[in-house]
Structure 1
């Protein structure tokens, strides 16, 4: 008879995600994970199999949380430019120390490159999903004349998603918040009519 699980899997997954986010995959040891989660290695293995499986689940969780947050901003309503202003403001939350971790997906893309197919798929899914949400908002803005039609919603969505990813790299490298704010203001401003 197996023993009942003695820890909250969702909480442990969140805590593990934070460790990977702060340290990266390769630099994270199982000791780091057990110290943060207060769960023994064998128990973590019992639920998540190995470090890589835990990492993939952490990436999926990060993607889901971020997309839920983005969707929430869109669903709150307002005009398309107001929604984009909300997204921009949320992206400027770089005044706290946590933001110096950058974005887990961007960090992972930089750490892994194309070396792991499953990791690459998870990263690409996040990037694609974010871009699709942005394209949707931009398309609505173009339809009512708030956003430029010089480029398609697909082109502008790709541009804006890339600008957001770029600022996460800048955050990670310690670029001043004011410089990041200027980049985001310019990037979002270029979309408006």
Structure 2
């Protein structure tokens, strides 16, 4: 498992100390990536300056650029690190569960993290989707890939549940997966301004109820 952030709680803001060496690999890359995530997640791409990144990581601008590339490349590396440490880790844990339980557990965790987000920084992936510049194809591709990963998790869980009869077959698995992805995005955006338990739970509950077989809903 990649050591780093999850998308609910920001790690302690790591600041590297010691000699700012010109040789770019004489530092703990994971700690630097945590620091980059901290900056970009809390401020966003545009509002984060190179000076912010230098101060947070303790590295020189030359060291950062030599190791990771320009500011956009730094942002993409931070986003990849965030996704792997948070979203991908959550998917791996939920995939070990039964299909319907997996989807419920996924959204339970999303609700907890959204409501515990005292800084209202939201989800870095969703923030990146909203902030992506039209000319930044690499960043948009990274966001698209992460969203597709989420949709695939939903789709595979739904297909498995439909095959076992634990998830309704009244709707195509593909349509349900897209619906769940939309619910997820909506919850994460709403939580930035209205982190209210009743509101967020009220968005998720009908979507989860829709997955139950008709006989279960009637019961």
TM above 0.5:
yes
Q: CA deviation at 1:88?
A: 1.5
Over 3 Å counting, the alpha-carbon distance change for 1:147 and 1:4 in structure 2 is: closer
SS at structure 1 position matched to 2:171: coil
**Superposed, which structure 2 residues align to 1:37-76 within 5 Å?**
37-65=57-85, 66-75=87-96
Tell me if the contact between 1:99 and 1:171 (Cα under 8 Å) persists in the aligned partners. Answer: no
In the alignment, structure 1 segments of 5+ residues that lack a partner are none
Shift of 1:3: 4.0
Offset of residue 4 of structure 1: 6.8
Compare the two structures and name the one with the higher helix fraction.
1
Which of structure 1's runs of 4+ aligned residues deviate more than 3 A? 2-6
Aligned length in residues: 190
Deviation digits for residues 71-98 of structure 1 (CA, Å, limit 9, x no counterpart):
22212x2x21211121111111223235
- Residue in structure 2 matching 1:87, options 83, 96, 106: 106
SS in 1 for 2:170: coil
| Structure 2 spans left out of the alignment, 5+ residues | 1-21, 214-219
Aligned position for 1:97: 117
- Aligned in 2, Cα 1:3/1:124: closer, same or farther, shift over 3 Å? closer
Matched, 1:190 2:210: yes
SS at match of 1:97: coil
Q: Secondary structure at the match of 1:102?
A: coil
Match of 1:144 in 2: 164
Cα RMSD, aligned residues only: 1.8
Q: Shift in Å at residue 108 of structure 1? A: 1.2
Shift of 1:46: 2.1
Change in CA separation of 1:181 and 1:120 when aligned onto 2, cut-off 3 Å: same
CA contact (8 A) 1:16 1:37 kept: yes
TM-score scaled by structure 1? 0.90
Give, in whole Å, the separation in 1 of the partners of 2:126 and 2:179: 16
Match of 2:200 in 1: 180
